[in-house]
Amino acid sequence: MGRLVQICLVLSVALAASAQKAKPNVLFVMADDMGWDDWSSHGSRQVLTPNLDSLAGSGVLLHRYYTHALCSPARSAVLTGRYSHTIGMQGRPLLHGEARGIPTTERLLPQYLKELGYRTQLVGKWHVGHAYRNQLPINRGFENHYGARTGFMDYYEYNSQEAWASGPVSGLSLFRDYTPDFEAEGYITDLYNEEAKHIIRSHNTSEPLFLMVTHHAPHNGNEDASLQAPPEEVRAQRHVELHPRRIFAAMVKKLDDSVGDMVATLKEQGMLENTIIVFVADNGAPTVGNGANSGSNYPLRGVKGSPWEGGIRVDALVWAGPEVAEGNDWRGNIFQGKMHASDWLPTLLEAIGEKPPTGIDGIPQWKHILENQPTRQEIFEIDDFTGYSSITLGRHKLIVGTVNAAYNLHRGGDLRGIIGQPPNYQQAVLNSKAYAAITAAGVPIDVEHLEENKEKATVTCGEGVAKECIPTADKWCLYDIIDDPCEYRDLSDSLPGLAEVLRFRLAQEEERVVPRTDKNDPIGSERAMSKNFNYTWETFMDLEPYTA
């Protein structure tokens, strides 16, 4: 009998050790066109995000997180660990009639994780290749995909419409793997949320899960109904002065609620304690210009589609359960080190105990984040298609080339109006599902500390533009983005030697640019027409036209 007890004890210890070594789950959530001032962790009193703030307050807020200025390039960087300009994915996002995409020779994050035993699921927007079946998520490492292959859609009808030379062209954008979903009903953020929760609840916890949820919110829909949210949610934002901004705030509220639901579902399934959660925006908000959505990057300069801080410095956080990262000393930190979208692939591999690949642009930052030790020095934003480039090296940033004139300005200050009193911030956090789930998992959240962090993460810019600079091919603009985060004071005349050094280093990186392939038929071609495929946006380079 004693021998049996000994064996049972040994087995129980072995099982416990095995459980401790289980690879962590990864939930990666991406918002679409959400600006710096659209997150209450950055100080907004107007747009409250209590679930995201609960994660940031008990994880790490990435204060100098950079991305590419546009959607397809940013997603390409996350998935490949490479700058988009090194794989031909820089510049304007993919349109519906384009056959361009991430080269199939590139190995993507879900492919790495799938080979390591992860179940890999994608819910939401793809937007890095859709003309051929071998470009689709389920052929690039994801086991399943429910969502849109392209860039935007109506939040209730799931169609996306583009203006082609022949006139407006519209088609269904919502697919489950290869099959268009004509039967779906509801608000798209809710559909994605329910799908994500179903995946979590159905998951076999003996295997690690990689779940990527790439919401459309708060990207605009089609031009005829660009901002969409449930009426009751819009009404709940009546403290927001301007009506378009009020709808936008409701869209962000639904996104934040979805994050809370997913965190709560992970806790219900006993998975949260061994999960890494990442939240990022893909790029800055388009306050003006193409796809304008009333998002705000205030007080940062510029918008989506520009190399200014407002286009490329965005919202981001990382959180880990107590079984993933021990102790609480790192929790609630504001990481001041630079991080780029291309860093996620090596960082997540490092976080799960695997050796990151070499020969990519991304830097593994997991240990640096937990230890609050900055490491990355350089960040590039190169868009030869549009015609601008920038380099950030240390505390200085140089911009060259031509930027859309409307995108050069400081935008969003006029969107901040509040009527009466906004909802109570601390109470919103205490009432959030993420707060309840995280604290139930044994991770403390100090609401007073969240308030303090809001103050610390609020960017202040001083007196206003002191020396304006509009870049061209021959005119370079130089800034100290530590002392001057809003890019008010051009230093190119006072520090010409430094400007020359940065321009030389930028020119070196520009030599690595891989031209966009643009191998498709002309945009708007008959071949890609949605009417050829029962009015859906199909893999038009592979399939024959639909016949009834």
Q: Which of 63, 85, 127, 219 does the annotation list as catalytic?
A: 127
335/337 Cα distance (integer angstroms): 6
Look at residues 260, 310, 245, 257 and name the one whose alpha carbon lies nearest to residue 281: 310
DSSP 357: P
- Do residues 537 and 96 make contact, with C-beta atoms less than 8 angstroms apart? yes
How many whole angstroms separate alpha carbon 185 and alpha carbon 191? Answer: 8
Which alpha helices (H) appear in 181-242, and where do they start and end? 188-202, 231-235
CA distance 61 to 65: 9
The identity of residue 395, as a single letter, is R
d(CA 548, CA 546): 7
**Cβ–Cβ contacts within 10 Å for residue 542, how many?**
12
Half-sphere exposure of 139 (CA within 13 A, CB side): 17
Q: How far apart are CA 138 and CA 132, in angstroms?
A: 12
CA distance 484 to 502: 18
71 part of the active site: yes
Question: 328 has which bridge partners?
Answer: none
Which two three-digit tokens encode residue 199?
Answer: 């995946």
The reply to whether 243 belongs to the active site is no
First vs last C-alpha separation in the chain: 73
Q: Going along 394-515, which residue ranges are E strands?
A: 396-401, 477-480
Active-site choice (71, 469, 477, 486): 71
Q: Which amino acid makes up residue 280? A: V
Q: How far is it, in rounded angstroms, from Cα 270 to Cα 263?
A: 11
In degrees and rounded to multiples of 5, residue 495 shows phi and psi of -130, 60
Helices 243-268, 433-440: crossing angle, 10 deg rounding: 30
Task: Indicate the SS3 state at residue 463.
Answer: coil
List the helix and strand counts (H, then E) for the chain.
14, 16
Question: In whole angstroms, what is the distance from residue 78 CA to residue 280 CA?
Answer: 10
CB atoms within 10 A of CB 447: 18
Of 295, 272, 255, the residue nearest 38 (C-alpha)? 295
Non-local (6+) Cβ contacts of 338 within 8 A are 64, 66, 374, 376, 377, 379, 392
For residues 111 and 88, is the Cβ–Cβ distance under 8 A?
Answer: no
Q: How far apart are CA 501 and CA 396, in angstroms?
A: 11
Q: What tokens appear for 221 in the block? A: 């829909």
Strand partners, 320: 276
Active site (catalytic) residues: 71, 127
